[in-house]
A and B are shown apart, each in its own frame.
Chain A
């Protein structure tokens, strides 16, 4: 299925593994330090039904206006130590990043009806093209540009592929299992060569 959604998203349980989502509305950036900060101090942004993006963007200021230059996803597994508590506390609908996350996050997604979606790694220019402006930024002085909590206005931001759903399923488990089988077959084949 392909979805074109407006934020906030209040019914994330409907998504299945492999669904492709394009988001219009607000995108909230949070990576390592921002997760820590928001958990400690609370969020200045309402995150209920929000799309939270693991991203450290390149942003410049020209004539007093922010310009998003590149904003592809960062590796999500680093946020595994925070994400379950983050989901419990703020109830976002969708976590977006690359590479997938672990068991703790999968459990929290199920419990609170959220999903994890993958955005294609390295696609910083495509992402920037779909970001129409900076709505607000928090903790900029303290955390710096790549780590601050940015709120972007986005149009048709995607393709976001649902890879962990709200029912305890992870697409990564399927791919890993299949790849492991293929690996074993290849190693056997190499071993049998003369």
Chain B
């Protein structure tokens, strides 16, 4: 399965996901601001060139991150961690990727994108005997524009809306807009951010939550964010976000955690599907 994980990393880095390609093309057609059109056009040319030449679409090839959605009875579970780590080492040379794993105390770059707790692997278990590996390398510029707000529960949905819009305003052009905003509500601090990251990256663009009141909040936040006028790369325009996705968990009576994760336009994601017979597929 190592070959397929390397292939998934290569495709995530060099071929922009089709949902995001379509969202950016649609945004370019709709955009009325000339400056914004220049930026969107450059982005479209860029991912076209990257795909054609099998080159990373951005020089920041991200922190190698994997979300694993695995059945309790998946027979190859013991091999996954080592396979992913080896695939990251190989992809670093073969794609190639920029070495992006630095020791925070010694400032030393490991040169192969591996190190303490990285590649970062997030595990989730469910019924079944198959596994889905979400390959989601994420750039540093947009990750810097993440936020955790421990709100007073009394501020309610109004307070959540205000905080999200202010957060997008404060982020300005730094996370390389147009972005996809993930919002996680409830749980604890860590769960709110995990939900936000899953909402931003794992869900298709565009998509709406299956529950009506959450979907409505997504619509409202999407429309408001695009009324800010920040625009592509913060140079003004109608397209600040491509979509806003909200996920929630029940909360403690005393807390209202709000996690916000920003994904830049270079929305890099692929899936590796592995069944119980060892059949592996990259989608």
User: Given the complex, which residues of A lie within 8 Å of B53, measured CB to CB?
Assistant: 125, 129
Q: Are B35 and A57 in contact (CB under 8 A)?
A: no
Interface of A is mostly: mixed
Say whether B98 faces chain A, with CB atoms less than 8 Å apart: yes
Out of B61, B165, B174, B229, which one reaches A75, CB within 8 Å? B174
- With A124-B46, A124-B59, A183-B165: A175-B227 Cβ-Cβ less than 8 Å: no
- In the complex, number of A-B residue pairs with CB atoms less than 8 Å apart: 147
Query: Which residues A86-102 have CB closer than 8 A to chain B?
Result: 98-100
Tell me the nearest residue of chain A to B232, going by C-beta: A120
Q: Are A159 and B38 in contact (CB under 8 A)?
A: yes
Say whether A58 faces chain B, with CB atoms less than 8 Å apart: yes
Distance between B257 CB and nearest chain A CB, rounded to angstroms = 20
Say whether B49 faces chain A, with CB atoms less than 8 Å apart: yes
Say whether B228 faces chain A, with CB atoms less than 8 Å apart: yes
Q: Are A161 and B141 in contact (CB under 8 A)?
A: no
8 closest A-B pairs by beta carbon, nearest first, are: A125-B50, A70-B59, A121-B176, A126-B46, A124-B59, A120-B42, A123-B46, A122-B58
> In the bound complex, what is the Cα–Cα distance between A123 and B45 (angstroms)?
9
Query: Which residues B33-73 have CB closer than 8 A to chain A?
Result: 34-35, 38-39, 41-43, 45-47, 49-50, 53, 55-61
Say whether B222 faces chain A, with CB atoms less than 8 Å apart: no
> In the bound complex, what is the Cα–Cα distance between A75 and B58 (angstroms)?
13
A-B pairs with beta carbons under 8 Å apart, 9 shown: A120-B38, A120-B42, A120-B43, A120-B232, A121-B173, A125-B49, A183-B228, A187-B166, A190-B162
User: Given the complex, which residues of A lie within 8 Å of B56, measured CB to CB?
Assistant: 58, 69-70, 124-125
User: Given the complex, which residues of A lie within 8 Å of B172, measured CB to CB?
Assistant: 99, 176, 179
A interface footprint on B159-202 (CB within 8 Å = 1, 0 otherwise): 00110011001001110100000000000000000000000000
Q: Are A190 and B158 in contact (CB under 8 A)?
A: yes
Q: Are A179 and B233 in contact (CB under 8 A)?
A: no
Say whether A146 faces chain B, with CB atoms less than 8 Å apart: yes
Out of B35, B58, B173, which one reaches A99, CB within 8 Å? B173
B59, B141, B227, B234 pick with most chain A CB within 10 angstroms = B59
Q: Are B235 and A163 in contact (CB under 8 A)?
A: yes
Q: Are B161 and A182 in contact (CB under 8 A)?
A: no
Distance between B12 CB and nearest chain A CB, rounded to angstroms = 14
Q: Are A58 and B227 in contact (CB under 8 A)?
A: no
User: Given the complex, which residues of B lie within 8 Å of A98, measured CB to CB?
Assistant: 173, 176, 233
A interface footprint on B235-272 (CB within 8 Å = 1, 0 otherwise): 11000000000000000000000000000111000000
> In the bound complex, what is the Cα–Cα distance between A55 and B161 (angstroms)?
36
Query: Which residues B81-111 have CB closer than 8 A to chain A?
Result: 96-98
Distance between A139 CB and nearest chain B CB, rounded to angstroms = 17
> In the bound complex, what is the Cα–Cα distance between A186 and B56 (angstroms)?
38
User: Given the complex, which residues of A lie within 8 Å of B38, measured CB to CB?
Assistant: 20, 120, 159, 161
4 new A-B contacts, CB < 8 A, other than A60-B96, A124-B59, are A99-B234, A122-B46, A175-B236, A183-B169
User: Given the complex, which residues of B lie within 8 Å of A75, measured CB to CB?
Assistant: 141, 174
Residues of A in contact with B (beta carbons under 8 Å apart): 18, 20, 55-58, 60, 69-72, 75, 98-100, 118, 120-126, 128-129, 146, 159, 161, 163, 171-172, 174-176, 178-180, 182-183, 186-187, 190-191, 193
Interface size on B, residues (CB 8 A): 49
- With A100-B173, A179-B169, A190-B162: A124-B57 Cβ-Cβ less than 8 Å: yes
Say whether B119 faces chain A, with CB atoms less than 8 Å apart: no
> In the bound complex, what is the Cα–Cα distance between A58 and B176 (angstroms)?
19
User: Given the complex, which residues of A lie within 8 Å of B49, measured CB to CB?
Assistant: 125-126, 128-129
Say whether B27 faces chain A, with CB atoms less than 8 Å apart: no
> In the bound complex, what is the Cα–Cα distance between A71 and B49 (angstroms)?
13
> In the bound complex, what is the Cα–Cα distance between A190 and B224 (angstroms)?
10
- With A70-B58, A122-B46, A146-B98: A182-B166 Cβ-Cβ less than 8 Å: no
Out of B47, B59, B228, B229, which one reaches A71, CB within 8 Å? B59
Q: Are A125 and B46 in contact (CB under 8 A)?
A: yes
Q: Are A123 and B158 in contact (CB under 8 A)?
A: no
User: Given the complex, which residues of B lie within 8 Å of A55, measured CB to CB?
Assistant: 59
